[in-house]
Amino acid sequence: MRKLVYAVHTSLDGHIEGPKGEFDWAEMGSDLSGHSKELTGRADTLVYGRRVWEMMSSYWPEAETISDHPHDLEYAPIWRETPKIVFSRTLDKAGWNTEVIGGDLTERVTELKSRPGKDLLLMGGAELATALSDRGLIDEAHVVVHPVVLGGGKQLFGGGVRTNLRLTGTRTMDGRAVLLTYEKA
């Protein structure tokens, strides 16, 4: 059975974005870029909630014209080619090889996990990740803690239910961030 893997960046004070929605604090060095490439290699489908989808689809299709960062240049073609799923109650359609899914979250994710293929990679976001975690649907979490205190903003798993996890790995990334890897207990 496929796994649903959650990959997210957080501040030291547990926020995935700043008080004004900013995400300008997560620095992608070579270690983080390599980890991202490794996770993407394990998956054949990228998964998003609508808000993160809107952010990603406004950047990655044209990333090479916006940025010259080595990670962006390498990841942009991968993003464009990889099938994507957006969970949304309001979005009807999306471009870039993307399926929009609504309906019962547990039923839909269970069905996706039962399909043949590689892992499903949930990238960022809070509401969808919390809803999936609350239902026990996230199999593995890769949480990158960055050395910044944001002092507010959207929380990682804000308002979620108590969930016990098992720490399966730690790794320093680029001499500044820490990767924490968890699995369901």
Q: Which residues contact 129 (CB under 8 A, 6 or more apart)?
A: 6, 8, 49, 122, 138, 156, 157
- Per-residue confidence (pLDDT) for residue 116, from 0 to 100: 96
Give CA–CA dist 114/180, Å, rounded: 27
Q: The tokens of 5 are what?
A: 């893997």
Q: The tokens of 63 are what?
A: 């990333």
Give CA–CA dist 141/8, Å, rounded: 8
Q: The tokens of 103 are what?
A: 């309906």
Please tell me the pTM assigned to this model. Answer: 0.95
Q: Quick check: 168 and 180 in contact, CB under 8 A?
A: no
- Per-residue confidence (pLDDT) for residue 2, from 0 to 100: 96
- Per-residue confidence (pLDDT) for residue 185, from 0 to 100: 87
Rg (CA), the chain: 16
Q: In which band, very low, low, confident or very high, does the pLDDT at 57 lie, cut at 50, 70 and 90?
A: very high
Mean pLDDT, the chain, rounded, equals 95
1-5, 118-122, 133-137, 156-160 — which is least confidently predicted?
Answer: 156-160
Nearest to 169 by CA among 184, 149, 183: 183
- What domains can be seen in the chain, in order of their start residue? 28-120+130-158 (3.40.430.10)
Q: In which band, very low, low, confident or very high, does the pLDDT at 124 lie, cut at 50, 70 and 90?
A: confident
DSSP H stretches of helix in 115-146: 127-134
DSSP H stretches of helix in 1-144: 30-42, 50-57, 63-66, 70-81, 105-114, 127-134
Q: Quick check: 106 and 137 in contact, CB under 8 A?
A: yes
